[in-house]
Structure 1
Amino acid sequence: MHSNTPPNPQSGAVERELSLRAVITGTVLGILLTPSNVYAGLKIGWSFNMSIIALLIGYGIWQGLARRSATQLPWTLHESNINQTVASAAASIISGGLVAPIPAYTLLTGQQLDVVPMIAWVFSVSFLGIWIAWYLRPSLLNDKALKFPEGMATLETLLHIYNHGHEAAKRLKVLFSAALLSGLVKWVDTFLWALPRWSPSAQLERLTFTAEPSLLLMGFGGIIGIRVGLTLLLGAVLAWGGLAPWLLAQGLVQLPAGSSGPQFAALVEWLLWPGVSLMVCSTLASLSIRLWALRTSTTTTEGLAWAAPKPWPVVGFALAIGLVVSLQALLFGINLWMALLTIPLAICLAAVAARVVGATGIPPIGAIGQLSQLSFGIVAPGQVPINLMSANTAGGAAGQCTDLMNDFKVGKAIGATPHKQLIAQMLGIFVGSVVGALAYLALIPDPHTMLLTEEWPAPAVATWKAVAQTLTHGLDSLSVSIRWAIVIGGLAGLLLGVLDGLLPAQRARYLPSAAALGLAFVLPASVSFMMALGAVLTWLVSCRWPRLTERFAITAAAGLIAGESITGVGASLWQMIGNG
């Protein structure tokens, strides 16, 4: 009988930690998995934590080789941790702005960053987040009220595959089978013949009610759960089945003459406003309540509020600040003093995000971004670059800070070396910045014509763009109907956010998910429908075979997401080369 007790940190296994093979494995997996999150972020506004995929693949490769060769050293627990740290840091690079503020900046200003400046910018904001996490680490990890659920899920998987190696092999088979199936469907749809987008009628097709042949969407549905899935379906019915026909009947939205097929682009220009206001108000209300609860319920008696600076971390922190501030001035023409103002805001909001993730497991990156936009809207009204890219600093730093805090939580449990995890994270964000920027430019060579369309809804871009427009031009620049929609959506979001924050967890789970409800206004109904279908199918299987679902549902869903997204990125590159 194996135990799930972490190994002794003083054992010999810890000697092989930041090994060359661990770093190379994490780098290769980061290169493969980062485009998946860029693809998914532009499709549906969500990304997937790649830690568990990296753990399974790294373990499968190296332990398999060790069993077959007497000269091959075993793949240690600590090497697995470094591998997943590099890969997950690379894949989480989209929090640096690739699927939200950077495209929104292009849409509002007409200026597209070239590849090298884009890599430098995304790296700089993520690099700042790493150093904030380093200084937050002592206080947050010693706070017993902060459990870091996502980090603990990674730890549980890590210990499970080492204690039950045969289970890792089974999960790997499920992962690769699902990825192969999903990739094959996407390849057929792209290169052989377009799979049918069936709709019950031409009227419903016009309102985007079609069956989208996407296993990626069903995979995300399997991950998000039944509550979020059904809320997406409810939101699609309200927005695209209720509001959209009314808008057309009242003449509030005019369709292009002779138009046929789904009319997503024309309708979403109106529908995104109530959806965005609902999402922003609900997340800010819920975040405020959670922070108040954390303030009254958590203590940091065992750790310092801020670690005493040591020489080499101070150099790294100073370098990160200098990089972010100078790039704001060079790339976006932002005043140096205004750029410097982003640093204390980024530190405060990254600390907020890290505490929320520690308590709930939910990274409030969207809310942090909108809080930053509101702050700079007050400090520098009417200035789009400041509103988007200075706010991007706080959002990107918060994203990488929370990712590294989860890694630190795993590392503390298994006796890993913190500064080696820090190095792994830095390598990861460098790889992710390069690959993520290249993937974004390959997928979206022309943001003005490609984004906010049925193919690329990019809901996070729509949110950042809408908030920036409102803060820049004011509500008076919008039509009366849109202003009323913003007020009603905001009030609904405020109510749901307050209820979600105040009700006990067992009651709050029966509420509609405010984030999903607002998101359904920005996504085509076909996307919400397929994600809801994935959630319902997974729930039905879990009712009949709960143990099977617990073991393989997330792994299968991850395979479906990775297979389609990697094939989609590859198809875009192939078509770009062919057109070139």
Structure 2
Amino acid sequence: MPERPAAFEPFIPASETRPEFTFRAILLGSLFGILFGAVTVYVGLRAGLTVAASIPISVLSISVLRALGRASILENNIVQTTGNAGQSIASGVIFTLPALVFLGFDLEYSRIFLLALIGGWLGVLFMIPLRRQLIVEEHGHLTYPEGTACADVLLAGERGGSFAGRVFLGLGLGGIYTLFQNENLLGAWPGTPDWQPDFGPQHVMKGAAIRADATPEYLGVGYIIGPRVAGVIFAGGVFSWLVLMPAIYFFGSHYTLPLYPATKPIAAMSPSELWSTYIRPMGAGAVAAAGLITLLKTLPTIFNALRSGLKTMRSKAGKTAALRTEDDLPMSVVVGGSALLVLIMFLFLTFKPVPGAQVGLLANLAASLLVVIFGFLFVTVSSRIVGLIGSSASPVSGMTIATLMATSAIFLVKGWTAPAFGALAITIGGVVCIAASNSGDTSQDLKTGFLIGATPWKQQVALMIGVVVSTVVIGLTLNAMNKGLEEFHATSQAWNLNASHSGVRDQGTFTRRSFRIAGSSSSAALQGSNYVLLNALGSPELADGKYLYNPATGRIEVQWVQGIGSEKAAAPQARLMATVINGILTRKLPWGLVLLGVFLVIVVELLGIRSLSFAVGAYLSIATTLAIFVGGIVRWMVDRAVAKAGGGSTESEISPGSLYASGLIAAGGIVGLLGVALKLYEAATGHTDILKFPKTFLFHDWVSVIMFVMLAFSLYYFAKKPLNDSES
């Protein structure tokens, strides 16, 4: 393997010491970890995508620490290292643990906190013995693109460059826009302009819809991922919403009975119902197939990574670093920490098991060891892959699916097929996914530190601290999203509670004090103390979700649409994980739809297109993919303008446009979360529409389109405007 060039020297030589692991650096990094962890949960649940936070954190750190007095480049690196842990942990959490909602279980804060903590620490610990091999010895071979770009930002800040003004500009304008656009806040104009075509007596294009969630975070995400990826994602949305859904209506509208898995006739279904009933199972099959194909493509890299990792542990474990820049935490910390995490996992499964999944001490120990085995396997794989192609292309979802399939298959053989064992499987898979996700970003951070001359053990401790701090807010944000975006819809269906209903589980008395029916003009909240809570998953009678049954009337009267899984927070990866687990354990899936998605992905792969992006787009609402595509179009226009002006290369990760887009993403996430918090406050106090803007001539779809176009133009304008030192 290529060795580190002998002439290489970091920016800060090993013989030189500067302020690094300071209190203010850890405090500022922890605050950024909380902020970007929450924003990642919000944006990731809605868009199904996450964006690296290391560069925006570095830019903000340079500005803040400079205002507090002279700061060293090593302090700024500790800030971004600590803060970036929040984004990476949140990514792993939202891809897996929301599956508990789809499986019919609550998002217990203590469970989320502990699983995120175990997974995050495993991701850091397993990277310690791999750092010297992957980061140092293969410096000329593994580029770690995000880590290298972050080092460039820190070096520019050390030399006097300032980019923070452009981030704050995006944060300010994006925040004002979101305040007026978000339906939970002022809601001055519609947040999602919608057009449902229906031409002539033949109902041409009936079942289709063109809509866009006109939010700044989607615009920013589309800009950063670029026109090609954004275009492929949007292509998946166009195929689902403008091809498949009209075809389903055209061929199925004459049926008077529901077609499985629907619970109502196709002619009576809205576009959103067509999407949730038929497209989501198809999209789940597509995402699963695309993730496994991506994993198969990387098998050579996986085998090389494992061989190199084992070789590294044997050859480097006993050596003592002589230089500050080569001083890692000792192997005793790795081994002792891993053993401690196994013990914590064992105790957690033993004393706080998933209700209904008590499997005995030996099985709990085996599950804990399984987490460590799969964790080390995929941490090694993830670290090497992100070094080659970057964090955004790492097939973490494919690795997680493989873990879940193996775990669920073991459960199936053992006869553990009750719903609770699905939750146990996602517990194991969630920790592995979080570890793999965090190890990828940990590798990028350690690469940044290697280039600028940081002290490895100080970075590793900062990462540990960042994991602990960020996990505090991630569970809170998940629960806030789930409750703040939930809706209760009136329905009426006769139901025999004592009869056997496949796929429907009685979860006891509904304990919430009160709730409000969506769209109701009544100001009085309906009391729900006498309802029975039902959870449907894979039922031929009820669509997946929760329902409230009234024993007094013998009817299901309310459908409880939880925030996670709704069109506002689709959580596609977590839905996929739940589909895989439930399909294996119950051996009941709408296999026709799932296989359609699988073969769709095979066709896309044969066309030479990245199938994972297409599959995610096919699963998501077109409201999400269209808004992201607009951001990609703006990036394409900026790239053309830069090239035409003789700027040479196109936009980079530290360009003015990318910095402004990062500000838009942060603004959409922060102000959007404030809207969720306001919604929770209104539900708790009984007040409604506290900040609601009165509906005027502005409340029309065309106003929403114009405002979004203006925001997109601001992105285009500031992306072309060069950075200057006055933007500080």
TM range (shorter): 0.7 to 0.9
Q: Residue 360 of structure 1 is aligned with which of 386, 389, 405?
A: 389
Note the C-alpha offset of 1:199: 3.6
Note the C-alpha offset of 1:281: 2.3
Find out whether 1:376 has 2:418 as its counterpart: no
Match of 1:70 in 2: none
Note the C-alpha offset of 1:367: 1.2
Q: Which AA in structure 2 matches 1:291? A: L
Find out whether 1:562 has 2:666 as its counterpart: yes
Matches within 5 A, 1:37-436: 37-66=40-69, 74-97=70-93, 99-108=94-103, 110-141=104-135, 142-143=137-138, 144-163=140-159, 165-166=160-161, 168=162, 171-190=163-182, 191-196=185-190, 197-203=192-198, 207-251=208-252, 252=259, 263-292=271-300, 304-306=312-314, 307-308=316-317, 310-329=331-350, 330-332=352-354, 333=358, 335-336=363-364, 337-361=366-390, 362-381=393-412, 382=417, 383-436=421-474
Note the C-alpha offset of 1:293: 5.3
Match of 1:534 in 2: 631
- 8 Å Cα contact 1:95/1:365 also seen in 2: no
Q: Distance in 2 between matches of 1:294 and 1:96?
A: 20
Match of 1:26 in 2: 29
- 8 Å Cα contact 1:140/1:355 also seen in 2: yes
Q: Given the two structures, how large is their TM-score scaled by the length of structure 1? A: 0.87
Question: Which of the two has higher C-alpha Rg?
Answer: 2
Q: Distance in 2 between matches of 1:425 and 1:269?
A: 42
Q: Distance in 2 between matches of 1:467 and 1:206?
A: 28
Match of 1:502 in 2: none
Q: Distance in 2 between matches of 1:96 and 1:512?
A: 25
- 8 Å Cα contact 2:245/2:271 also seen in 1: no
Cα shift readout 1:100-124 (whole Å, capped 9, x = no counterpart): 322212321x221432332122111
Q: Distance in 1 between matches of 2:79 and 2:305?
A: 35
Q: Distance in 1 between matches of 2:305 and 2:460?
A: 30
Q: Which AA in structure 2 matches 1:106? A: V
Q: Which AA in structure 2 matches 1:146? A: L
| Long gaps (5+) in structure 2 | 1-7, 199-204, 253-258, 318-329, 487-544, 547-560, 685-728
Q: Which AA in structure 2 matches 1:35? A: A
Q: Distance in 2 between matches of 1:111 and 1:255?
A: 23
Q: Distance in 1 between matches of 2:594 and 2:334?
A: 48
- 8 Å Cα contact 1:380/1:386 also seen in 2: no
Q: Distance in 2 between matches of 1:119 and 1:266?
A: 35
- The SS at the match of 1:184 is helix
Cα shift readout 1:370-428 (whole Å, capped 9, x = no counterpart): 11112112222244133311111211111111121111111122221111111101111
Change over 3 Å in CA distance of 1:393–1:179 after alignment to 2: same
Q: Distance in 2 between matches of 1:299 and 1:152?
A: 25
- The SS at the match of 1:454 is coil
Q: Distance in 1 between matches of 2:114 and 2:175?
A: 31
Note the C-alpha offset of 1:300: 5.2
Q: Which AA in structure 1 matches 2:615? A: G
Q: Distance in 1 between matches of 2:475 and 2:54?
A: 21
Q: Distance in 2 between matches of 1:467 and 1:405?
A: 29
Q: Distance in 1 between matches of 2:433 and 2:269?
A: 37
How many residues align? The count is 547
Change over 3 Å in CA distance of 1:538–1:409 after alignment to 2: same
Q: Residue 488 of structure 1 is aligned with which of 585, 599, 607?
A: 599
Match of 2:618 in 1: 521
Q: Residue 568 of structure 2 is aligned with which of 436, 452, 455?
A: 455
- The SS at the match of 2:98 is helix
Larger RCO, structures 1/2 (Cα 8 Å, 6+ apart):
1
Change over 3 Å in CA distance of 1:91–1:205 after alignment to 2: farther
Q: Distance in 2 between matches of 1:297 and 1:396?
A: 19
RMSD across aligned C-alpha pairs, in angstroms?
Answer: 2.8
Q: Which AA in structure 2 matches 1:179? A: L
Q: Which AA in structure 1 matches 2:564? A: L
Q: Distance in 1 between matches of 2:296 and 2:307?
A: 18
**Sequence identity percentage:** 23
Single out whichever of 557-566 and 290-299 deviates more from structure 2. 290-299
- The SS at the match of 1:192 is coil
- 8 Å Cα contact 2:129/2:331 also seen in 1: no
- The SS at the match of 1:380 is helix
Q: Given the two structures, how large is their TM-score scaled by the length of structure 2? A: 0.70
Q: Distance in 2 between matches of 1:205 and 1:451?
A: 28
Q: Distance in 1 between matches of 2:48 and 2:371?
A: 25
Note the C-alpha offset of 1:270: 1.9
Q: Distance in 2 between matches of 1:483 and 1:275?
A: 7
Note the C-alpha offset of 1:238: 1.1
Change over 3 Å in CA distance of 1:259–1:454 after alignment to 2: farther
Change over 3 Å in CA distance of 1:284–1:563 after alignment to 2: same
- The SS at the match of 1:100 is helix
Cα shift readout 1:502-522 (whole Å, capped 9, x = no counterpart): xxxxxxxxx433112111222
- 8 Å Cα contact 1:51/1:88 also seen in 2: yes
